[in-house]
Amino acid sequence: MKGLILVGGYGTRLRPLTLSLPKPLVEFGNRPMILHQIEALANAGCTDIVLAVNYKPEVMVGALKQYEKEYGVSITFSVEEEPLGTAGPLKLAEKILKKDNTPIFVLNSDVICEYPLRDLLEFHTAHGGEATIVATKVDEPSKYGVIVHDRDVPNLIERFVEKPVEFVGNRINAGIYVLNPSVIDLIEMRPTSIEHETFPILVEQKKLYSFDLPGYWMDVGQPKDFLSGMCLYLSALTKKNSKLLTSTSEEYVNGGNVLIDPSAKIGKGCKIGPNVVIGPNCIIGDGVRIQRSTILKNSQIKDHAWVKSTIVGWNSTVGKWARLEGVTVLGEDVTVKDEVYVNGGKVLPHKSIKDNVETPQIIM
Amino acid sequence: MISKAVIMVGGGSRGTRFRPLALDQAKIMFPIAGKPLLAHTIDAILTIPTIKEIILIGFYDPAVFTEFILDFNTKMKYQNRDCYLKYLKEFKALGTAGGLYHFREEILRGNPDGFLVVHGDIICSFPFVEMIEFYKKKAAEKGGIEAMLFGVKLTNYDLFMALSGSEQSSFGTIVSEDNGKVIHYVEKPESKISDIINGGIYIFNESLFRRLSNAKISKITIANDNTTFETVDEDVISMEKDVLHFLPDSGKTFVYEYKGFWRAIKTPSDALWANELYLDKVFQTKTGHGRSVIHRASVNIEPPVYIHPSATIHFENGTKIGPYVSIGANVTIGAGTRIYNSIILENCEIGQNSFVRNSILSLDCKIGNWARVEGTGVNLISINEIVKKNGPTKIKKVLDAESSRVIGIKDSGNICILGSGTHIGDDLYVLNSFILPSKSIKDDVKYEIIM
Residues 6+ apart with CB under 8 A from A355: A340
Element (H, E) at A34: helix A33-43
Regarding whether A239 and A179 lie in a shared domain, the answer is no
- CATH of residue A119: 3.90.550.10
Regarding whether B183 and B61 lie in a shared domain, the answer is yes
Q: Provide the CA B359 distance to its chain's centre, in angstroms.
A: 17
Yes or no: say if A33 and A111 are a contact pair by the CB < 8 Å rule. Answer: no
Yes or no: say if B96 and B215 are a contact pair by the CB < 8 Å rule. Answer: no
Yes or no: say if B336 and B321 are a contact pair by the CB < 8 Å rule. Answer: no
Angle between helix axes A33-43 and A117-127 (nearest 10 degrees) is 50
Phi, psi of B74 (to 5 degrees): -65, -45
Regarding whether B305 and B216 lie in a shared domain, the answer is no
Question: Which residues on chain B are in Cβ contact (under 8 Å) with A269?
Answer: 317, 335-336, 352-353
| A219, A246, A268 - which closes a domain | A219
Regarding whether A233 and A194 lie in a shared domain, the answer is no
Yes or no: say if B143 and B185 are a contact pair by the CB < 8 Å rule. Answer: no
Residue from A122, A146, A103 nearest A211 by CA: A122
| B266, B284, B318 - which closes a domain | B266
Q: According to DSSP H, which parts of B165-265 are helical? A: 207-224, 247-250
Please, what is the end-to-end C-alpha distance for chain A in angstroms? 45
Regarding whether A213 and A78 lie in a shared domain, the answer is yes
Specify the number of domains making up chain A: 2
Q: Taking residues A124-149, what's their average pLDDT?
A: 85
Whether residue A306 and residue B370 make contact (CB cut-off 8 A), yes or no, is yes
Indicate which of B317, B341, B352, B389 best probes the interface with A, i.e. most A CBs within 10 Å of its own CB: B317
Yes or no: say if A86 and A45 are a contact pair by the CB < 8 Å rule. Answer: no
Regarding whether B25 and B72 lie in a shared domain, the answer is yes
Q: Which of A38-52, A149-163, A249-263, B402-416 has the lowest mean pLDDT?
A: B402-416
Instruction: Print the domain residue range for B85.
Output: 2-266
Q: Which of A25-34, A149-158, B20-29, B372-381 has the lowest mean pLDDT?
A: B372-381
The string of pLDDT tens digits covering residues A306-334 is 999 999 999 999 999 999 999 999 999 99
A window 266-285, beta carbon within 8 A of B: 268-269, 271
Regarding whether B244 and B107 lie in a shared domain, the answer is yes
Regarding whether B159 and B308 lie in a shared domain, the answer is no
CA distance linking residue B37 with residue B123, whole number of Å: 8
Regarding whether A302 and A166 lie in a shared domain, the answer is no
Q: Is residue A36 scored above 70 in pLDDT?
A: yes
| A169, A202, A219 - which closes a domain | A219
pLDDT of residue B404: 45
Residue from B277, B187, B223, B265 nearest B14 by CA: B265
| B244, B266, B288 - which closes a domain | B266
pLDDT of residue B170: 72
What is the set of active-site residues of A? 163
Question: Which residues on chain A are in Cβ contact (under 8 Å) with B359?
Answer: none
DSSP assignment of B393-434 = HHHHHHHHHHGGG-SSS--SS--EEE-TT-EE-TT-EEES-E
| B266, B291, B317 - which closes a domain | B266
Kindly give the confidence (pLDDT) of every residue in chain B, 451 residues in length, as a single tens digit, with 9 standing for 90 and above. 889 999 999 887 666 677 777 777 888 999 988 889 999 999 999 999 999 999 999 999 899 999 999 999 999 999 999 999 999 998 888 888 888 889 999 998 888 888 999 999 898 889 999 999 999 999 898 888 899 999 998 877 766 766 665 444 578 888 888 888 888 888 877 777 888 889 999 999 888 888 888 888 888 888 777 776 667 778 888 888 888 888 888 888 999 999 888 888 888 888 888 888 888 877 766 554 444 556 677 889 888 899 998 999 999 889 999 889 999 999 999 999 999 999 999 999 999 999 999 999 999 999 999 999 998 864 445 555 666 666 555 555 655 555 444 433 334 457 899 999 999 999 999 998 889 888 999 999 988 888 8
Regarding whether A80 and A187 lie in a shared domain, the answer is yes
Regarding whether B342 and B220 lie in a shared domain, the answer is no
Element (H, E) at B200: strand B196-204
HSE-up of B144 (CA within 13 Å, CB side)?
A: 5
Phi, psi of B93 (to 5 degrees): -65, 120
Regarding whether B208 and B319 lie in a shared domain, the answer is no
From the CB of residue A68, how many other CB atoms can be counted at a distance below 10 Å? 14
Regarding whether A301 and A337 lie in a shared domain, the answer is yes
Question: Which residues is A65 bridged to in the sheet?
Answer: none
Which region, left, alpha or beta, applies to residue B277 given φ > 0 means left and ψ of -120 to 50 means alpha? alpha
pLDDT of residue B293: 58
Regarding whether B171 and B25 lie in a shared domain, the answer is yes
DSSP assignment of A121-153 = HHHHHHH--SEEEEEEE-S-GGGSEEEEE-SSS
How many angstroms away from the CA of B427 is the closest CA of chain A?
8
Q: Is the pTM of this model over 0.90?
A: no
Yes or no: say if B368 and B385 are a contact pair by the CB < 8 Å rule. Answer: no
Q: Provide the CA A306 distance to its chain's centre, in angstroms.
A: 26
Q: Mean pLDDT in chain A?
A: 89
Whether residue B353 and residue A287 make contact (CB cut-off 8 A), yes or no, is yes
- CATH of residue B441: 2.160.10.10
| Chain B residues with CB within 8 Å of chain A CB | 317-318, 335-338, 352-353, 355, 357, 369-370, 372, 374, 376, 427, 429, 431, 446
CA distance linking residue A1 with residue A243, whole number of Å: 29
- Does B281 fall in a domain? no
pLDDT of residue B39: 93
Regarding whether A239 and A215 lie in a shared domain, the answer is no
In chain A, the percentage of residues whose pLDDT exceeds 70 is 100
CA distance linking residue B438 with residue B258, whole number of Å: 42
Question: Which residues is A27 bridged to in the sheet?
Answer: A32
pLDDT of residue A265: 95
Length of chain A: 364
Regarding whether A163 and A20 lie in a shared domain, the answer is yes
Specify the number of domains making up chain B: 2
Yes or no: say if B52 and B82 are a contact pair by the CB < 8 Å rule. Answer: yes
Element (H, E) at B392: helix B380-402
The three-class DSSP label of residue A175 is strand
Residues 6+ apart with CB under 8 A from B420: B23, B24, B345, B362, B363, B364, B365, B437, B438
Regarding whether B152 and B102 lie in a shared domain, the answer is yes
Residue of A nearest to B334 (CA): A287
The three-class DSSP label of residue A187 is coil
Amino acid type, A28? F
- CATH of residue A333: 2.160.10.10
Q: Is residue A66 scored above 70 in pLDDT?
A: yes
CA distance linking residue B328 with residue B320, whole number of Å: 17
Regarding whether A73 and A103 lie in a shared domain, the answer is yes
Regarding whether B348 and B202 lie in a shared domain, the answer is no
CA distance linking residue A340 with residue B367, whole number of Å: 20
- CATH of residue B219: 3.90.550.10
Question: Which residues on chain B are in Cβ contact (under 8 Å) with A288?
Answer: 353
pLDDT of residue B386: 60
Regarding whether A201 and A292 lie in a shared domain, the answer is no
A265 touches chain B (CB under 8 A): no
Angle between helix axes A33-43 and A58-71 (nearest 10 degrees) is 30
| A192, A219, A246 - which closes a domain | A219
Q: According to DSSP H, which parts of B110-206 are helical? A: 128-142, 157-163
- Does B71 fall in a domain? yes
Indicate which of A272, A302, A304 best probes the interface with B, i.e. most B CBs within 10 Å of its own CB: A304
Yes or no: say if A325 and A308 are a contact pair by the CB < 8 Å rule. Answer: yes
Instruction: Print the domain residue range for A24.
Output: 2-219
Whether residue B318 and residue A320 make contact (CB cut-off 8 A), yes or no, is yes
Regarding whether A199 and A246 lie in a shared domain, the answer is no
- Does B272 fall in a domain? no
Regarding whether B133 and B25 lie in a shared domain, the answer is yes
Q: Provide the CA A258 distance to its chain's centre, in angstroms.
A: 18
In our burial notation (b when 16+ CB lie closer than 10 A, e otherwise), range B250-279 reads eebbbbbbbeebbbbbbbbbbbbbbbbbbb
Q: Taking residues A121-140, what's their average pLDDT?
A: 88
Regarding whether A328 and A180 lie in a shared domain, the answer is no
Angle between helix axes B95-102 and B207-224 (nearest 10 degrees) is 110
Regarding whether B227 and B371 lie in a shared domain, the answer is no
The string of pLDDT tens digits covering residues A260-292 is 999 999 999 999 989 999 999 999 999 999 999
